Amino acid sequence: MKKTKLLSAAAAVIMAVSMMSAVSMNAWAANSGYGGLVEGVSDTNQDGSVNTTELKKSLVIRDGAKIPDATFTFNVTPGAAVSATESTFAVIKGVNPEKIKFGEEEQADGNGTIKYEMQDKPAEGTTTDDGVTIADTSDGYYIATKSVKLDFSQCGFTEPGIYRYIITETGTNAGIKNDINNTRTVDVYVEDATTGTDKKLKIAGYVMYVGTLTTGPSKTVTSAEGFTAEDGVNTITPSGNLVSDATKSVGFKNVYLPHDLTFCKQVTGNQGSKDKYFKFTLNISGAVPGRVFYVDLSDADATPIKNAATKYSSMSNPSTFTVGEDGTAEVVFYIQDGQRIVIKDIADGTAYAITEDSEDYQATAEIVGDNDGTENNGVSVEDIGLTQDTTVTFTNDRSGVLPTGILVSIAPAAIIGIAVIGGIVFLVVKNKRREAEED
């Protein structure tokens, strides 16, 4: 009985101690949470923390073409968590991606954007007012790069570790080919920054990779030997603990290779007028609504002047025209023999049709470039999707045969008339000589 009471008392003591220990452990756990990131007023703080990284958009453009109007959208989502192995670090699923700021703004509905505005190519090495920098290449292209800062400081990291996010790019800009791989993996390295009893975290750095990764960074520091960097836009030096067999990146690369459409006028035949202006109607479809096209009039007249051979009294050739909300445009031009119109920077896949009023001339048309174009009896040409620079030459012929048969038919009569006149003159002269001899 006494033993039973003693055991019961001991059990009660052990339970009480256990409960006290549990309370103590829970209290410690509650007080062990980090108080957020160290505070700072700049992207890189004095303690070495980095609140932002940079996402670059590089647009490869055919030399001579303008920078196009274009909008690219980026969506950031959490990457998958990855367990640690003997050779790789663990990865934590990214937290609160909606709190990431693109530039100065939080993502709208989880998305951020980079926009380009149409403009002439600036000089190499310059930066435009809207933040585009220019670099020339040696193979007939130039690169227009625009960057945006991604601020991860409001994501609410709670422990040191590697947090993973996935950036996906979307964009349906006419004539622009998107990056072959439209995702990038961003690993955010969060470290302990505790000083004394003030438990804090800091963002120590970022690593961006091409594609969506599912493995953790290697525990072995990567050497530069044999390392593969993203092809084309940037040279990236490897450093630190990287994901094996992955390609480092700084952003996305897109390609814009527009085409020029040229149509020319030739007049042939002995009755063809080199002064005459002919009317051409250009129709564009499948273009970006609101897009402004530029026209090269260096080999044409901006304001043709009516002459005796031309039936049109009022003529003008526009140097620009704007696509309507339905993606179409119709424009009229007037050119004469030896002149040409050049429509600049038509996006790949844009449809066009050119129709000429050839009047009483015999018309033919020749297409050089995009052979998919269709020629219709010489007076019109159309293509459902332009794929390369194309020149269309419209030739108008008007020839006539001189009526030489009429001259030949009156020749015998003319000869007889001349003979008769000659005979009369001979008789008159003879009679005068006779009269003179008789006197």
The CATH number of residue 387's host domain is 2.60.40.1140
**Cα–chain center distance at 233:** 15
- pLDDT tens, residue by residue, 313-356: 999 999 999 999 999 999 999 999 999 999 999 988 899 999 99
Compute the Cα dihedral for 297, 302, 308, 312 and give only its sign: positive
Please tell me the predicted confidence (pLDDT) of residue 226: 46
The three-state secondary structure class of 278 is: strand
Same structural domain, 179 and 201: yes
pLDDT confidence band for 236 (50 / 70 / 90): low
The more confident residue out of 403 and 395 is 395
User: Is 27 inside a domain boundary?
Assistant: no
Indicate the residue among 207, 226, 256 that finishes a domain. 256
Distance in angstroms (rounded) separating the CA atoms of residues 347 and 354: 17
CA distances from 232 to 58, 182, 245, 251, 252 (A): 10, 16, 18, 12, 11
User: Is 55 inside a domain boundary?
Assistant: yes
CA neighbor of 74 nearest in space, from 104, 110, 99: 110
Mean pLDDT on 391-414:
73
User: Is 17 inside a domain boundary?
Assistant: no
Which range, 53-57, 310-314, 368-372, 415-419, is most confident? Answer: 310-314
Same structural domain, 230 and 275: no
CB distance 312 to 301 below 8 Å: no
Query: Which structure tokens are listed for 117?
Result: 């505005």
Same structural domain, 314 and 207: no
Same structural domain, 167 and 215: yes
Same structural domain, 119 and 209: yes
CB distance 284 to 293 below 8 Å: yes
Same structural domain, 228 and 264: no
CA distances from 269 to 89, 170, 195, 229, 272 (A): 81, 55, 93, 62, 5
Task: Give the chain's mean pLDDT.
Answer: 81
Please tell me the predicted confidence (pLDDT) of residue 36: 82
Domain containing 90 equals 33-256
Same structural domain, 232 and 265: no
CATH assignment at residue 129:
2.60.40.3050
Work out whether strand 278-285 and strand 259-268 pair parallel, antiparallel, or are unpaired.
unpaired
The amino acid sitting at 253 is: K
Mean pLDDT on 234-238:
51
Domain count of the fold of the chain: 2
Mean pLDDT on 365-383:
81
User: Is 301 inside a domain boundary?
Assistant: yes
- pLDDT tens, residue by residue, 413-434: 555 555 656 666 556 555 666 6
As to burial, measured by CB atoms within 10 angstroms (0-12 exposed, 13-18 middle, 19+ buried), residue 79 is buried
Work out whether strand 111-116 and strand 70-78 pair parallel, antiparallel, or are unpaired.
antiparallel
pLDDT confidence band for 23 (50 / 70 / 90): very low
Please tell me the predicted confidence (pLDDT) of residue 241: 75
Same structural domain, 154 and 295: no
Please tell me the predicted confidence (pLDDT) of residue 221: 78
Same structural domain, 252 and 263: no
Query: Which structure tokens are listed for 438?
Result: 């008789």
**What percent of the chain is modeled with pLDDT above 70?**
74
Listed range (131-135, 181-185, 243-247, 253-257) with the worst mean pLDDT: 243-247
Mean pLDDT on 223-246:
59
- Has residue 30 got a pLDDT over 90? no
- Has residue 228 got a pLDDT over 90? no
User: Is 120 inside a domain boundary?
Assistant: yes
Determine how many CB atoms are found less than 10 A away from the CB of residue 273: 18
